[in-house]
Amino acid sequence: MGTDDSDFLETADVETSSDGYAARFSGATGEWMLAVQERIAVRFLAGATARTVLDVGGGHGQLAGPLCRAGYTVTVLGSSDVCRARIAAMVDAGQCRFQVGDVLHLPFPDRSFETVLCFRLITHCAKWPGLISELCRVADRSVIVDYPTSRSLNKIAPALFGAKKQIEGNTRTWRLFSHGEIEGEFVAHGYRRDARIGQFFFPMVLHRMLKCRPVSAAMEGATRLVGLNRLLGSPVISRMVRT
């Protein structure tokens, strides 16, 4: 929603790593939404047969925590030291590593990590092709990303933006993508898509408005059963592999 570059930041992970952002996923419905994301991401990562992982913009800890517990060697890249706060306990315990750096100029050599993750960042990044270029550069085998797609009920996002802002309080402008835009950029850097699935058929803001995990889970279970989530769900999680 929105195309003015002034509304987008290359340091968007400062916000997504904050306590305020984490509050969007508080309660039973929020925990359920995170569980859906985690389940798909972990499955995709297992399919990539990788152990070393870079989580770009992952200071929110939504994936770093589960991956550390699963035994992966995880490095989280944040735009600022404040992005360390929510994963500080894991970093201090030596369970994962945190590094400050520019997401458009990642401070790592080429092919430093077997797999690179980037969640909740591309949609807020005006220079998203540059971000994808860097993700591809530092990954040795695969890149796993999420993004909201225009091929979904997100097409009605403008009508829901007011309600979304009222519910979340700190909603920011984001961008919808076609699959071709994202996949074309990866192809330009020597990657191809080998797995893709949509997380939710219904907009996430609707589930937050309902505030009823059983109802939301039943709704999404029904659409998933008939294949709508795979085809039309959003945000999309895609695994890209080096060709």
Strands 234-242 and 97-100: unpaired
What confidence score (pLDDT) does residue 163 get?
Answer: 52
**What's the whole-model pTM score?**
0.88
pLDDT of amino acid 50: 81
What is the separation, in whole angstroms, between the first and last Cα of the chain?
32
- Find where tokens 């550390």 sit: 68
Whether 168 has a pLDDT exceeding 80, the answer reads no
pLDDT of residue 224: 94
pLDDT (tens digit, 9 = 90+) per residue, 194-216? 999 999 999 888 899 999 999 99
Q: State the Cα–Cα distance between residues 132 and 104, nearest whole angstrom.
A: 9
| Domains located in the chain, CATH noted | 5-146+176-199+236-242 (3.40.50.150)
> What average pLDDT does range 172-197 have in this prediction?
92
Tens digit of each residue's pLDDT (9 = 90 or more) over 75-130 = 999 999 999 999 999 999 999 999 999 999 999 999 999 999 999 999 999 899 99
Q: Which residue has the tokens 């695994």?
A: 239
Nearest to 26 by CA among 153, 169, 163: 169
Rg (CA), the chain: 17
Summarised one tens digit per residue, pLDDT across range 23-70 is 989 999 999 999 999 999 999 998 878 899 999 999 999 999 999 999
- pLDDT, tens only, 120-165: 999 999 899 999 999 999 999 999 999 999 876 666 555 555 554 5
Residue written as token pair 């699959």:
179
